[in-house]
Structure 1
């Protein structure tokens, strides 16, 4: 049983081909070394001994008998020492050769890693024995390329958004300056007209404040190092309070919010950050839901997790559904930031939920969109 399990594990190893190749190379070198030793052992007798004697005679210009005496005195008497030295030399040479065969695999791996560091567009190719390493490195290469592309797209979206915000700030600022100038230059304007100008100025100033807040939202986006202050939270009360705070923008579009949450339901987490999650998702639902529709919030316990859903009428295109949690991504591609916001709301919500060990997903079909938050 244990043998079968071991064989099964060996068959699943991705580097079996490399092990087999290295084994055959090592075995070949060992066989060559054995042959060399056998040849050396027979060097003192027979044809090889005569050949060595003939070479000595040629080198030192000796007759056959003198060459034989020379051979016996200098070679045969020291044959053990000569064999030992020769074996050591051959062993070093063969060992160095075997290392060269082995280290060429490391050279291929180094070249592959260099391709990763240089962000080369070419596919990493290695010898068949390193097929498993080639596959892994190409997977890492593709992952890094995707991350770089996503980061570049997010940066481009952020830059575009900053440009749009800078442009949009000019409009309310120009209006504020214009109406204040009128009030300053004509202090004797009728009260009704003054009130009208003040009201318009206040609206433009509020719009200007919202745009500046968008700038702050962009610059402070970094939740990776934010510590969580977990505590017991009354979920029902938090959702009721959040809905009350959003009442003006809910009623302005003739919409309603229905909360179906047990009044005694409690969750554990950072209250400020989870409130931001629920608020961001609710604002998204208010912005992109149909006019005079109802946004439904529900919560239940499932498999030791709290599942909270926000459901509203309205559909998110499938090609955009996978990107709505990305930084600076907005469903509204129009230039105006009046409805689109900074594109950080859902990205922040996802990061906060992830910090709590949970998940947030979105589904949209048949005219309805559902955001689902799962918290441990």
Structure 2
């Protein structure tokens, strides 16, 4: 008989050309293995897998045509290690679930039908995410599969921040500002609640800065405003996404060019952003080049200037600011971007300490700063694992006959 400690939750987090995965102990929520497949859809992709001590277990290179190929590679690895991988449930990050699907839930046939009808809301994300689910449903048909939506954190935004000033018929059709990166924001708020008393009395802005970038305003522990809207293309300029545009700019693009809405979608989400300015979507490359390349400096300046504007706007929405948090790949690792964003913001009470920021300390604000500025590591996969475990516990409460042990599967 297998030990109870050998039951796990598998977490899957897919991106446009990557797939992250992690395996957590069901009871301790300790991450046992984690990995990533990069370069999906490109000539050559890589799979890297590490153990809980960050020791590299596997590095391999091959061609992954699509997300299903990447999913199959993970399943094959799990088969090779099946004596260690008794999976109790699988949790997935889904970028969009429309107005009806926000809270984490078990994936059923009806949920899949609903999500397929919503592909138009997230055409660059949902098809791959649904393909991923289909592949793992076939490999693991007996266990619970749980959808965790990136929009959940923003579900309680007040109407003035949620709805667009458009005829009511569009609101009835589901047109609203959904907001994204919610799993990241949930994780940050959970950590803050563990570390600080009365955090729900603070006015907080969380800046999730990465290839996809957004910010969220939090008051009384609730997300009350955010930068992204109906899609992850809105708000801040990003690696390949345009960010906010005057609607007239979109009409201009359609009128002046013989392109379809689908082609426009690709241009705005894959060929815009800092890539359109500097010729590269990699912020690390831009930071290396910016002192000798004007286009790189222009992209860097635009990115940081827009971040400043949105911090000020969200602070106005909150009616003040107590805590600014940088997270995400860029927010956690780029001292140059944090420094430029916070420069000349002392009129808002933001004063960054150059030395603390250079060392990426947890707190990087000066002692005289009225606003505390922090750097925090996010962990969307752990948040998904915790939601998935909560769903299993709820199943046990509703149906005493249900046991997470009876549904375990090896790959």
The two structures have a TM-score, normalised by structure 1, of 0.19
Greater relative contact order (Cα < 8 A, sep 6+): 2
Greater fraction helix: 1
